[in-house]
Each structure stands twice: as structure tokens, then as C-alpha cells.
């Protein structure tokens, strides 16, 4: 057993942390308060090449292993969750199916510019009536000549209102449920493709999230992203573990930022003639937070190691996402308690951590869905 990072991973962690501290963290409050896409931060950060993190060096990527990816997700979330959401969507979900199934022409037009930060990508799963229940998808794709005609509406789409292209989950037949699902590429400017409602969110502000409408959109056959019709749900399964581990890594990043904020405050806040960190009940909070964070980190990075080795990771990924997120919620709650009434003021950082952490309850599967999946898997093994 070896729990240490490699020399390459250690160097990567330091360089990413330095970039986040220099470019992202100083603007985190501004990103949150303005709740506008931070184009200047985007351009400055994407020049560093991190959007190609997961992809091969021969196409301009970094060919990072899964552990390095978790390092990145954790560090960028530590700086600003709002900005992290937009970056990670490009790195992972928004470009994955194009890299895997897209033609050379599609990759030149979409993937490579996205890896350079010149185009913005997104993934469209969610609809008003279907979040975790992908089988309830109603966005419809129908063969039309040498292409596809797509109709439907997607909701809660990260980067949706500003995206240059999107990977859309649609069904060939709603009656087939999960067996009718497929992915299609739709690009900005395609007739019938428009933006609907923009969602004013409680947290993760700065990430533009909204509704995308596909009204009789026609795309050529090559925009079908897959090898076989009706296999979309299986392709989702191929990336689901990484998405869940990514969400757990983001939870670690938020928790680390909140923990550091709490520690600084406990050391400088004077009450009853001494720093509040000298009081036993405050020290107990830090003991528990640190313990929980260490346990969550082991689970997330163990899951990433399993994924990198090609070993079974489905249950551990679900557990890591769920546990790390609950730990994050605990840490940000303790931060607000340590800060006292000041935590309730927009002037101070705790309220931002508290709001941002809530989003992680939904991405990668709600915890009710995850608990049911984990329990069914365990019972099935008896």
C-alpha cells in the first residue's frame, strides 16, 4: 500500500494551487457577487492549458491520470466553485462524448478549440420531469433524411446560455425508457437552438445556468455520438464514476477553503481575553472537521486510484461523492458557528461557502438515489 503522491502529481498539485491562488481566489467574492460569467478570469486561466487535462498529449492535452484530475478538481473548487463548475464542464462532461465518438471534423470544430478555451461546452441531461430518472427523458430525436430532427427542452444546464456547443441526451422512443437514449451534438447557431430561462441560483454563482430549447433542430447524421443506437445510458455509465468522484473532490476543495477560513478566524478572534481557538469546544470542532476531511480525502482518492487501474469503482465512487459532500456540509456549518453572527453577513466569506456547498447535494446523483443504489448493490451481494 502506498498513499503518497508521485513526484509528478506533487508538482502538478503545487502548480495548480499556485495558479488558483493567483488567478481565481482573489476574484472569488467578485465572481459570486456579480453572478456573471467571468470572461477575464476564463481567458487568463484557460491559457494555462488545463482544459485539456484528461486528453492525450498528441491532441494538445495533458494526459493526466485520474488522481491528477481529482487534484485539479479539488484545487479549482477551493478557489471558486462558480468558476470551477464552468471549467470542469469543459474538461469532463461537455467534451467527453465528442472526444470518444466525434469525427475528425467535429473534433477540429469543437473539441480542440474547447481544449484551448476558445469555445465553451456543455452537457444536457436534465429536464423538468427528469433529473436522476434519465429514463423519463422526453427530448426526442427522429431520423430525417441524412440526419436527425430534435425537439425538446433541457433545464439546469451549466454553461448552457453561453455554450458554443452541447452534447444532448435524447430518446428515439420515450416508451423504451433507458434503452431509447442517445447523444447528439448541437452547435450554437443551428436553426431552432435557443436559450430559454436563465436560473438565478443560491450558490455556485458566476456559472451561468439555464434552459436550452431545441425547436425542430436538424443536425447531420455524424452528429450522433455513439457506436450503436440505444446505448446512450451505457455510455453514461462509463463516465459516471468519474463524475461522482469529481463531485467529491470539489466537496473537499470547498471544505478546505472553509476550514482555512475558520482556522484563521479562531486564531485572531479575541473573546474573554483570549483567541477563541483556545477554548475546548472550539478545538473540538477542528478535531472533528480535520478527521472527517481526512477520511473523505482517502475515499475520493482511493476511488480515483481504482478508476485509473480499471478496477471496480461504482460503489466506492457513489460512497465517496455522498460522504465527501456530507463532510463538506458539516465543515461549512461549523465555519458559520465559529464565525458567529458575522457568518450571516454578506460582507464575510462563510455565507458563500455555505451556499456553494448545497449545490453538491444534487450533482452526480442525489444522496437519496445514491443510498438506494449502494444499498441495492450490497443486498444483491448477500
pLDDT number for residue 18: 98
Compute the residue count for the chain. Answer: 382
Cβ contacts of 249 within 8 Å, gap of 6 or more:
70, 71, 73, 74, 77, 300, 304, 324
Write the pLDDT tens digit of every residue in 178-220: 999 999 999 999 999 999 999 999 999 999 999 999 999 999 9
Write the pLDDT tens digit of every residue in 219-228: 999 999 999 9
Low-confidence ranges of the chain (pLDDT < 70): 381-382
Q: What is the pTM of this model?
A: 0.95
pLDDT number for residue 42: 97
Q: Under CATH, which number does the domain 121-229 receive?
A: 2.40.110.10
Cβ contacts of 150 within 8 Å, gap of 6 or more:
139, 140, 141, 142, 168, 170, 184, 186, 214, 216, 217, 218, 219
At 277 the three-state DSSP class reads helix
Distance separating alpha carbons of residues 137 and 152, to the nearest angstrom: 9
Question: Is 46 in contact with 27 (CB distance < 8 Å)?
Answer: no
Distance separating alpha carbons of residues 263 and 70, to the nearest angstrom: 24
Query: Which CATH superfamily hosts domain 7-115?
Result: Acyl-CoA dehydrogenase/oxidase, N-terminal domain (1.10.540.10)
Give ranges for CATH 1.10.540.10 in the chain.
7-115
Question: Is 149 in contact with 216 (CB distance < 8 Å)?
Answer: yes
pLDDT number for residue 199: 96
pLDDT number for residue 133: 87
Residue 166 phi, psi dihedral angles, 5° rounding: -145, 150
Q: Which CATH architecture has domain 233-381?
A: Up-down Bundle (1.20)
Give ranges for CATH 2.40.110.10 in the chain.
121-229
pLDDT number for residue 381: 61
Amino acid at each position: 500500500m502506498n498513499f503518497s503522491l508521485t513526484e509528478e502529481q506533487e508538482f502538478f498539485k503545487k502548480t495548480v494551487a499556485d495558479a488558483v491562488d493567483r488567478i481565481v481566489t482573489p476574484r472569488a467574492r467578485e465572481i459570486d457577487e456579480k453572478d456573471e460569467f467571468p470572461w477575464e478570469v476564463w481567458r487568463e486561466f484557460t491559457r494555462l492549458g488545463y482544459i485539456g487535462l484528461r486528453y492525450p498529449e498528441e491532441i494538445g492535452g495533458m494526459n493526466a491520470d485520474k488522481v491528477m484530475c481529482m487534484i485539479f478538481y479539488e484545487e479549482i473548487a477551493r478557489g471558486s466553485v462558480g468558476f470551477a463548475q464552468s471549467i470542469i464542464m469543459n474538461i469532463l462532461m461537455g467534451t467527453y462524448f465528442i472526444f470518444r465518438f466525434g469525427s475528425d471534423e467535429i473534433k477540429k470544430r469543437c473539441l480542440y478549440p474547447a481544449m484551448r478555451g476558445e469555445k465553451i461546452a456543455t452537457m444536457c441531461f436534465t429536464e423538468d420531469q427528469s433529473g436522476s430518472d434519465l429514463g423519463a427523458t422526453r427530448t426526442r430525436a427522429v431520423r430525417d433524411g441524412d440526419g436527425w430532427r430534435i425537439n425538446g427542452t433541457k433545464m439546469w444546464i451549466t454553461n448552457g446560455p453561453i455554450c458554443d456547443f452541447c452534447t444532448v441526451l435524447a430518446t428515439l422512443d420515450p416508451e423504451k425508457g433507458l434503452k431509447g437514449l442517445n447523444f447528439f451534438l448541437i452547435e450554437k447557431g443551428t436553426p431552432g437552438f435557443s436559450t430559454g430561462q436563465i436560473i438565478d441560483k443560491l450558490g455556485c454563482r458566476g456559472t451561468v445556468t439555464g434552459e436550452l430549447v431545441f425547436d425542430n433542430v436538424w443536425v447531420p447524421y455524424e452528429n450522433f455520438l455513439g457506436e450503436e443506437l440505444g446505448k446512450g445510458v451505457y455510455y453514461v455509465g462509463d463516465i459516471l464514476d468519474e463524475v461522482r468522484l469529481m463531485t467529491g473532490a470539489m466537496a473537499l476543495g470547498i471544505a478546505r477553503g472553509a476550514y482555512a477560513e475558520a482556522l484563521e478566524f479562531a486564531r485572531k478572534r479575541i473573546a474573554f481575553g483570549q483567541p477563541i481557538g483556545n477554548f475546548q469546544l472550539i478545538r473540538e470542532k477542528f478535531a472533528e472537521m480535520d478527521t472527517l476531511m481526512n477520511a473523505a480525502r482517502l475515499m475520493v482518492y482511493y476511488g480515483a486510484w481504482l478508476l485509473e487501474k480499471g478496477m471496480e469503482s461504482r460503489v466506492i465512487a457513489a460512497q465517496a461523492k455522498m460522504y465527501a459532500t456530507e463532510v463538506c456540509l458539516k465543515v461549512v456549518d461549523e465555519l458559520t458557528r465559529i464565525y458567529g453572527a458575522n457568518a450571516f453577513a454578506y460582507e464575510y466569506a462563510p455565507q458563500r461557502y455555505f451556499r456553494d456547498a448545497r449545490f453538491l447535494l444534487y450533482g452526480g446523483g442525489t444522496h437519496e438515489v445514491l443510498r438506494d443504489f449502494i444499498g441495492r448493490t450490497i443486498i444483491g451481494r448477500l
